[in-house]
Amino acid sequence: MIKQLIDQFIDITIREDIGDGDHSSLSCIPESAQGKMYLLVKEDGVLAGVDIALKIFNEIDSSIETEVFIKDGTSVKVGDVVMHVTGKVWSLLQAERLVLNVMQRMSGIATRTAEYVARLEGTKTRVLDTRKTTPGMRYLEKEAVRLGGGVNHRMGLYDMVMLKDNHIDFAGGIEKAIRQVQTYLEEKGKDLKIEVEVRDWNELEEVMRVGGIHRIMLDNFSIDETKKAVTFIDGRFETESSGGITIETLRDYAECGVDYISVGALTHHIKSLDLSLKAMD
């Protein structure tokens, strides 16, 4: 499924950008012209998107030759050269912006994630991404989180049960929601983990009483409330903190002893990393 989604994404981005032709290149560069480009790092960070870039080059023109010097997940500095790319100039120019769009965004996410991960050093807590991703780019953005040292929470609605506030309210309460999920999974023969979001202490107590789940999300709990909750849960279920946690408060929540902290900003409040594809003589 993932491969199919990536192939579809690349196909859509190529058709979206090229349309009926790259008339800038077609009008001033001979069809027979061959060239070489290098991918230059212009900002310190963590590199991501190399493997996807290679797929884009290959889809544009399978005769393009690439030589990669720096792999995904590597810390890079200004002036580093990631790869050389050789082939038909028309093809190189058609691929240029698509490659940069993907790699700059993915590298920005990986870089930001690595900053969060560094704040957690020495604790047991891992940083999680969320479903707050760019439509059509979820796999790429979550892969960038992984390359930055983070953990993918779930890919979508299909690979984990997560009962949030609206599920609980529509289902008629926490106990009803959990019981119905357990029955559904048994009937469908599905082995999915169950996570339940709690908004206050009463909901937490109810989840603990009902049980039959894997993880409790403490939504918008203060640091003091989180400490108390982790003590109360006492390792019986995995714990996750979520809601308004910033890089400045991240460590404080981690030191409460939670297993995970989910951060939507990893994928939706991102500054792309500055990269450039330059022609070589």
215 is catalytic: no
Name the catalytic one among 132, 146, 199, 228.
Answer: 132
Residues 242/110, Cβ–Cβ less than 8 Å: no
Whether residue 164 lies in the annotated active site:
yes
What does DSSP assign to residue 200?
Answer: S
Catalytic one among 96, 129, 143, 219?
A: 219
The verdict on whether 203 is a catalytic residue reads: no
Cβ atoms of residues 239 and 260 within 8 Å: yes
Determine the Cα–Cα distance for residues 177 and 82; give it in Å rounded to an integer. 50
Among the options 36, 42, 146, 164, which is catalytic?
A: 164
Q: What distances in angstroms separate CA 86 from CA 35, 90, 93, one per listed residue? A: 6, 11, 11
| Active site (annotated) includes residue 77 | no
Active-site choice (71, 97, 124, 176)? 97
Residues 6+ apart with CB under 8 A from 8: none
Pairwise CA distance, residues 158 & 259, whole Å? 23
User: DSSP label at 204?
Assistant: H
User: Is 132 assigned a catalytic role?
Assistant: yes
172: phi then psi, degrees, rounded to nearest 5: 95, 20
User: What is the rounded distance in angstroms from the CA atom of residue 193 to the CA atom of residue 149?
Assistant: 23
Count of beta carbons in the 10 Å neighbourhood of residue 103: 26
* Residue of 96, 143, 197, 240 marked active site: 197
Q: Which of the residues are catalytic?
A: 97, 132, 164, 197, 219
